[in-house]
């Protein structure tokens, strides 16, 4: 279970957040499972099938929670914002082990398996899901801490703008979404500040 929850944010492209079924799922996850006897568990899904698995689980009466965040991706030299699962191929499911037929989850459309300890479903530690939900914004997406992708001294390449394809050294963050880069221009170091999403590893 620890391996599941320590995975980094998704890097695979996901569908945009304007589809009706996505809006439904984004707002549907309550703060606790369906009743006080329920606990949160984890199902593994097929690739890019998190939404589909969540829908089919809900149709069977299970509560689900799919934590997602908004990421930026570069497409055709444009920056787009898209919704992406925080834990690719994993969905939380609320189960009352005393009343619900949890084995039916194993054959649910979109689901690969229910994560277990041996033959017993592995419960998520108390407070994990609730902690994630407290970090959601008004639209139901997780607010992630801003962390630099590079450390000072890393070699980077500018991917867009006036200095496109220029190489330089990452100096540090300059504001929330901008980075300071040292470029070697005309034999001397020049400090420029550029949008962080325009920087790639050299």
pTM above 0.75, yes or no: no
Residue ranges of the chain whose pLDDT lies below 70:
1-35, 145-148, 175-177
pLDDT in tens, 104-141: 999 999 999 999 999 999 999 888 898 889 889 899 99
How high is the pLDDT of residue 173?
82
150 assigned to some structural domain: no
- Classify residue 139: in a domain, yes or no: no
Where b means 16+ CB within 10 Å and e means fewer, 127-136 reads eebeebbeeb
Position 196 in a domain: yes
pLDDT at residue 37, as a whole number: 84
Residue 164: give its domain's CATH number.
2.30.30.30
Residue 33's CB: how many other CB atoms inside 10 A? 22
Say yes or no: 74 and 32 in one domain. Answer: yes
What is the distance between the alpha carbons of residues 75 and 1, in angstroms, rounded to a whole number?
A: 34
Number of domains in the chain: 2
Same domain, 87 and 177: no
Domain with 43 in it: 2-134
Which of these, 48, 50, 47, lies nearest to 67 by C-alpha position?
Answer: 50
CB 92 within 8 A of CB 44: no
Say if 159 falls within a structural domain: yes
Tokens 């069977």 correspond to: 60
Q: Which residues contact 74 (CB under 8 A, 6 or more apart)?
A: 80, 159, 160, 197
Return the CATH number at 111.
Answer: 3.30.70.940
């Amino acid at each position: 279970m620890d391996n599941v929850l320590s995975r980094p944010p998704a890097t695979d492209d996901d569908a945009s957040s304007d589809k009706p079924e996505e809006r439904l799922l984004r707002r549907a996850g309550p703060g606790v499972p369906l009743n006080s006897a329920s606990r949160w568990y984890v199902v593994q899904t097929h690739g890019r099938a998190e939404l589909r698995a969540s829908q089919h689980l809900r149709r069977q009466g299970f509560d689900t929670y799919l934590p997602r965040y908004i990421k930026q991706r570069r497409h055709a030299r444009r920056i787009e914002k898209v919704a992406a699962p925080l834990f690719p191929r994993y969905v939380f499911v609320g189960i009352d082990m005393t009343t619900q037929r949890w084995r039916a989850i194993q054959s649910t459309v979109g689901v690969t398996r229910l994560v277990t300890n041996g033959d017993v479903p592995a419960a998520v530690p108390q407070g994990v899901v609730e902690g994630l939900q407290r970090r959601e914004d008004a639209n139901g997406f997780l607010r992630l801490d801003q962390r630099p992708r590079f450390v000072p001294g890393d070699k980077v390449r500018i991917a867009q703008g006036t200095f496109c394809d220029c190489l330089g050294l990452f100096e540090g963050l300059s504001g929330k979404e901008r980075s300071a880069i040292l470029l070697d221009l005309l034999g001397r170091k020049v400090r420029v500040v550029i949008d962080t999403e325009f920087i790639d590893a050299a």
